Amino acid sequence: MSQAESLPLAVPSLTAVLFGLSGCLVDFGARTRQLTSILPEHAEATPGALESLHSLQRQRIPCAWMDELPSALALPLSAALPTWVKPSQHSATNNPWPAPNACWQALMGLNVDRLDGCVLVSGEPRLLQAGLNAGLWTIGLASCGSLCGLAPSEWHALAQKQREQLRGKATVQLFGLGVHSVIDHLGELDTCLADISLRRFKGEKP
């Protein structure tokens, strides 16, 4: 049982979790933002992504993915994800990130009736800023998002010290935005969501 699933009953459960697509659930390094087509490796789930989604499903916490990529790129990119994870694409020309509209639209698509307890997870600074502007809890991803921008093979080929330097720089940039938490990748999400639930229980607001 994950930490998120073993919280005391008095701790309120989360309302909904929104995810970035590229550089979060898939496309380690958010490399497709610079391309006009995708490779099979881009559509591979990032570390911990599928486990995190199934954990949320077991807790009956609705979730959706978000991106500003064209449908021709976003839909093939999401092929590895469970079909019950709702897509929420928002036109980049209509109130683009960091405007909060895309986040609100995604929550309305999940039939969520309140912002309280809603979380956004992303490695994309502009989307995280949109989440902050929308009044959501935000979790930044340091290693697999656009701030590092490396393919998995490139990331693992680096020396440990180089990875720590890149991760540290990305973490500082994400906290500089005002995000509430920063983790390396989605393999650490359960613990982070449990921490946010406890922070809410103690009265903290996003």
Tens digits of per-residue pLDDT, 47-73?
Answer: 999 999 999 999 999 999 999 888 889
Q: Hey, what CATH topology would domain 16-198 get? A: Rossmann fold (3.40.50)
Burial of 164 (0-12, 13-18, 19+ CB in 10 A): exposed
The residue that leads in pLDDT, 39 or 148, is 148
Q: What is the pTM of this model?
A: 0.93
Tokens 């599928």 belong to 50
Tens digits of per-residue pLDDT, 144-188?
Answer: 999 999 999 999 999 999 999 999 999 999 999 999 999 999 999
Tens digits of per-residue pLDDT, 72-81?
Answer: 899 999 999 9
Q: How confident is the model over 8-12, as a mean pLDDT?
A: 62
Domain regions of the chain by residue span: 16-198
Which residues 6+ apart lie within 8 Å of 53 measured at CB? Answer: 25, 63, 81, 82, 85
**Cis peptide before 8, with omega less than 30 degrees from 0?**
no
